[in-house]
Structure formats: structure tokens, C-alpha cells
């Protein structure tokens, strides 16, 4: 049973949220964002007839349910002390595209857009649990409008809310909508859930096949690896993407799993995008270029260097960060400092000091020059 104090907190938050001036503002902001996302889709090179942009303002009853949630560490306190300031999906938009590569292109266009500030990227379903290997798939991007957007100003006593943008393929969207509807109709028992899992697995496979068909039609079919001659043993021999392909978010996830199969994936939702930016800024803008660079590093020696005496987890992103540091040396540290330009000075300098210490350790062990 929900704590009565939380219910009262939610009722007050709902009254504040339902004020006509704020609801009208959210609709104006939604219209502005919809028009802008059409420009983002065009900038990503996605044809108009292969994409859709949708948006909605969160229903008051749904907002109140979220406002009534207890804090994870203290059930007597609300999770959202100031719900209209803190709940991030009051205004939510979707970009729905035909192909996985188009979803990635849209995500990249959002990351590079001057009118939006990306605060968090969540790859929903990319790291499913063992008990539910397939399910909801979507990329959720949380953004703040920048001045360049020209967004309307909120009413007095309100702030500009953080906005959620969902990126999906058409097949992922159909699955998610049907799953959502069945859950609220009470039909999502174990038998139905298993059927949804099977459908999700098929959708993932069909999305991949459609992407390969589109790649082949565009003249970018994957090479026949069975015709390749013998090569030196390496954990990086099987391409994550076709040679010369762009280092997209999807390609980076594949590369990390391929290059560091014994390391756990990163727990942070934005870590893969973070290391991808570092790789791109270091001049590795294709999978092939990144693979060739990492092949020059003795990965086993790097792992031995940092396996003892460190407190951080040796996950896939950290392993690649160390490999790029071994390749780039001081230049990589300068790149990392530049990319941390928006962070507080103390945090930026800490990153530089840690990288300097790690580079010295690599040099001591003969892994880096």
C-alpha cells in the first residue's frame, strides 16, 4: 500500500502539472521539437518516406503515478521531490525509422546537433538479463533544449523540462506498442510473455537481415570471409562491420564485444558513446581503422599492467581506453582533455592526471612509447 504522504505529494504535483498554462507550454514545446526533429532526420540522411516523428505530453494520471514513487533508499520519501522539474518524460518524442543503421544515424545526428544538449543515452534491451534474453529494444536519448532551438519560455515558477527522445525501427515500434497494450489489458501472463520474447528475437533477426539487404543493394555487401587466406591469430580477425564502415554506435558495441570478449560490458549507459567519441576524435572513424590501431597493441600486456593494484573495473570500454592510450600517448591525453571541456575543472584535471599515471605505467611495462 502506498504511503498516504506520497499520495498527497503526488496529488499536489498533479495539480501543479495540470495548470492550463503549463499544459499549453508543453504542447508548444512539443510542436517546436517535432519540427526540429524532422530537420535532424533530414540531416541524418534518412528519406522522409522511411521515417516518422511522433510526440506526446504525459497524461496527468501517469504523471501522478510517477510522482508517487518512493525513493529507492528511503520508502518514506518521494523519489521526485519536485516532479515537474525532475520527471524526464513529461514531453516524449519518437523517431521511427526503417533500418537499424538509420536509428544509429539519427542518434549520431542528435549528438552533433547544436540545438539540443544530450544528457544521457540509454540503449534499452542491449544488455538483457539471462531470464529475458529478448524484449523491448529502443534507444532513449535525454536532451535539454539549447538556445539555438528557439523554444518557447515556460510559465512562471516552471522550468524547461528535460525531454526524452526514443529511437526505434518500425518493427521494434510495433512490438513495443503491442506489448504495452497487452500488459494494460492484463493479458501478459507467462505464456503471452514467452510469445513476445519469441517475436522480439525474430524482429531482431529480421532487422539485421533487412539492414544487410540494404547494405548489399547500396554496394556495401559484407566480404566472403571463407575466401580469405590464413592470417596471424588474433581476437580481432573477424570484422565487426564490413571494412571501411563507419564507426557507428552499433559498430562500436560489436567491436568492443569482439576485441575484448573476456571483459564485461560497461555498466554505464553512455560509456560506449563516450569511448566512440574518443576514438573518432583520435582519427579512427571506421571500424577497420580502429581495428588496425588496436592490433598494434599487446592487449595481454596492457591487461597485466592494470590487473593488479587498481580499483576500477576492467570492462570493455576501459580496455579500449587503455589501448587507445597506448597508441596515442600524450596526444590521446590532449584529446581526452579537450573532450572533457564541459566538465568542471577539477574533474577535467583528474582525468588528465589519471591518464598520465596510466601512460607512465604502460611505458614502464614496455607497452607504450
Q: 16-47, pLDDT tens digit by residue? A: 999 999 999 999 999 999 999 999 998 888 88
Q: pLDDT by residue (tens digit) across 107-142?
A: 888 988 889 998 888 877 644 433 344 567 888 999
Q: What is the mean pLDDT of residues 90-113?
A: 90
Which pLDDT band, with edges at 50, 70 and 90, does 295 fall under? very high
Q: What is the mean pLDDT of residues 253-257?
A: 87
pLDDT for 50 equals: 93
Question: How many whole angstroms separate alpha carbon 190 and alpha carbon 181?
Answer: 16
Q: Given phi > 0 = left and psi -120 to 50 = alpha, else beta, which region is 219? A: left
Which pLDDT band, with edges at 50, 70 and 90, does 225 fall under? very low
Question: How many whole angstroms separate alpha carbon 120 and alpha carbon 268?
Answer: 10
**Whether the predicted pLDDT of 334 surpasses 50:** yes
pLDDT for 150 equals: 92
**How much of the chain, in percent, has pLDDT values that exceed 70?**
83
Question: How many whole angstroms separate alpha carbon 166 and alpha carbon 136?
Answer: 12
Select the highest-mean-pLDDT range: 16-30, 192-206, 301-315.
Answer: 16-30
Look at residues 114, 99, 93 and name the one whose alpha carbon lies nearest to residue 47.
99
Average pLDDT, the chain: 83
pLDDT for 198 equals: 82
Task: Give the CA distances from residue 58 to residues 14, 87, 116, 189, 332, in Å, rounded to whole numbers and listed in that order.
Answer: 11, 10, 21, 27, 43
Look at residues 168, 166, 162, 167 and name the one whose alpha carbon lies nearest to residue 29.
162
Select the highest-mean-pLDDT range: 61-75, 97-111, 187-201, 333-347.
Answer: 61-75
Q: Give the chain's end-to-end CA distance (angstroms, integer).
A: 62
pLDDT for 369 equals: 75
pLDDT for 17 equals: 97
pLDDT for 340 equals: 79
Which pLDDT band, with edges at 50, 70 and 90, does 238 fall under? very low
Higher pLDDT, 326 or 205: 326
Strands of 51-57's sheet, edge to edge?
A: 51-57, 91-97, 163-169, 138-145, 116-124
Q: What is the mean pLDDT of residues 205-232?
A: 60
pLDDT for 187 equals: 57
Look at residues 127, 126, 107, 104 and name the one whose alpha carbon lies nearest to residue 118.
107
**Whether the predicted pLDDT of 308 surpasses 80:** no
pLDDT for 143 equals: 94
**Whether the predicted pLDDT of 243 surpasses 50:** no
**How much of the chain, in percent, has pLDDT values that exceed 90?**
46
Amino acid at each position: 500500500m502506498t504511503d498516504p504522504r506520497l499520495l498527497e505529494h503526488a496529488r499536489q504535483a498533479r495539480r501543479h502539472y495540470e495548470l492550463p498554462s503549463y499544459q499549453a507550454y508543453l504542447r508548444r514545446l512539443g510542436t517546436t521539437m517535432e519540427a526540429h526533429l524532422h530537420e535532424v532526420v533530414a540531416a541524418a540522411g534518412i528519406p522522409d518516406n522511411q521515417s516518422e516523428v511522433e510526440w506526446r505530453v504525459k497524461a496527468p494520471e501517469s504523471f501522478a503515478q510517477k510522482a508517487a514513487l518512493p525513493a529507492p533508499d528511503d520508502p518514506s520519501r518521494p523519489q521526485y521531490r519536485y516532479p515537474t522539474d525532475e520527471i524526464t518524460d513529461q514531453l516524449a518524442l519518437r523517431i521511427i525509422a526503417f533500418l537499424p543503421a538509420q536509428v544509429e544515424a539519427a542518434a549520431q545526428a542528435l549528438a552533433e546537433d547544436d540545438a539540443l544538449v544530450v544528457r544521457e543515452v540509454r540503449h534499452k534491451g542491449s544488455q538483457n538479463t539471462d531470464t529475458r534474453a529478448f524484449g523491448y529494444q529502443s534507444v532513449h536519448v535525454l536532451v535539454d533544449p539549447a538556445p539555438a532551438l528557439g523554444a518557447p519560455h515556460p510559465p512562471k515558477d516552471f522550468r524547461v523540462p528535460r525531454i526524452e527522445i526514443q529511437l526505434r525501427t518500425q518493427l521494434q515500434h510495433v512490438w513495443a506498442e503491442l506489448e504495452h497494450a497487452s500488459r494494460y489489458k492484463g493479458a501478459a501472463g507467462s505464456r503471452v510473455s514467452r510469445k513476445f520474447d519469441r517475436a522480439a528475437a525474430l524482429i531482431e533477426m529480421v532487422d539485421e537481415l533487412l539492414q544487410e539487404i540494404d547494405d548489399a543493394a547500396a554496394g556495401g555487401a559484407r566480404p566472403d570471409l571463407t575466401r580469405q587466406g590464413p592470417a596471424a591469430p588474433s581476437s580481432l580477425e573477424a570484422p565487426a562491420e564490413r571494412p571501411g564502415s563507419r564507426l557507428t554506435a552499433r559498430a562500436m558495441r560489436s567491436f568492443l564485444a569482439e576485441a575484448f570478449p573476456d571483459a564485461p560490458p560497461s555498466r554505464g549507459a553512455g560509456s560506449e558513446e563516450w569511448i566512440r567519441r574518443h576514438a573518432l576524435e583520435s582519427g579512427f572513424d571506421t571500424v577497420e581503422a580502429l581495428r588496425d590501431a588496436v592490433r598494434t597493441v599487446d592487449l595481454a600486456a596492457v591487461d597485466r599492467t592494470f590487473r593488479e593494484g587498481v580499483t576500477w573495473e576492467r570492462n570493455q570500454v576501459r580496455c579500449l581506453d587503455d589501448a587507445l592510450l597506448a597508441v596515442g600517448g600524450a596526444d590521446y591525453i590532449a584529446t581526452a582533455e579537450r573532450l572533457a571541456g564541459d566538465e568542471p575543472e577539477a574533474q577535467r584535471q583528474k582525468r588528465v592526471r589519471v591518464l598520465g599515471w596510466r601512460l607512465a605505467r604502460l611505458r614502464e611495462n614496455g607497452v607504450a612509447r
